[in-house]
Chain A
Amino acid sequence: DAGVIQSPRHEVTEMGQEVTLRCKPISGHNSLFWYRQTMMRGLELLIYFNNNVPIDDSGMPEDRFSAKMPNASFSTLKIQPSEPRDSAVYFCASRYEGSVSGYTFGSGTRLTVV
């Protein structure tokens, strides 16, 4: 298995532009999580899906952020419009809910908004 795959690895964009981050979870995993990591706040959960349905989006900072999971093998996190304070590393993780296994993280997308 190739693990959790995120793209792009790095993204540099100008303030006000739309940014879309992508994630492919591990095949067979039914839960998907989007986390954000910053020096100041560490790792924070933004949203998670179970069986493609958003379960908890309380961590989404504001309406500029949205996430979708149209099918079991793909999810997107969109920021529109982007702001410099959105600069962070965004991680996607997946697991199979109902098992005793842990979480598998992707390599992350480093976003820089200038």
Chain B
Amino acid sequence: KQEVTQIPAALSVPEGENLVLNCSFTDSAIYNLQWFRQDPGKGLTSLLLIQSSQREQTSGRLNASLDKSSGRSTLYIAASQPGDSATYLCARPPAFSGGYNKLIFGAGTRLAVHP
């Protein structure tokens, strides 16, 4: 069974800290991995998409890395702000799917950044 695991389930940090969210997956035959943000009561917003041929992607204060050999992806948030408070989910297509169709989601990390 292919699984996506996110640790920690919840994280509370003071404003300004740099932090790392972890995502691990079984089966290294991964085509891509996508990080999403979900605010309470809202939908999912795509943050970063890393293709299997890439090692990392950056967008502003966010940096996502992908290590296929170890089955891990990390989302690095620099200089965290209260507005970063949300649930962060990682997701990947099933192995041998061609990178298409459904996504397998992790349970998410609920982040709270306090002033």
Interface residue ranges, A against B (CB under 8 Å): 31, 33, 42-43, 45, 48, 50, 55-56, 59, 91, 93, 97-98, 100-108, 110
Picked from B36, B46, B49, B105, the residue with its CB within 8 Å of the CB of A42 is: B105
- CA A55 to CA B102, docked complex, whole Å: 10
Chain B's interface size range is 20 to 34
Chain A's nearest CB lies how many Å from the CB of B99?
8
* Contacting pair B89 A33 (CB below 8 A): no
* Contacting pair A104 B46 (CB below 8 A): yes
The answer to whether B42 has its CB under 8 Å from any CB of chain A is yes
What does DSSP make chain A's interface, helix, strand, loop or mixed? strand
Chain A's nearest CB lies how many Å from the CB of B81?
23
Picked from A43, A103, A107, the residue with its CB within 8 Å of the CB of B42 is: A107
Given A101-B49, A105-B44, check contact A56 B108 (CB 8 Å).
Answer: no
Given A42-B107, A101-B49, A102-B49, check contact A48 B43 (CB 8 Å).
Answer: no
Picked from B41, B101, B105, the residue with its CB within 8 Å of the CB of A43 is: B105
The answer to whether B19 has its CB under 8 Å from any CB of chain A is no
Q: Which residues of B contact A43 (CB under 8 A)?
A: 89, 91, 103, 105
- CA A26 to CA B89, docked complex, whole Å: 22
* Contacting pair A108 B43 (CB below 8 A): yes
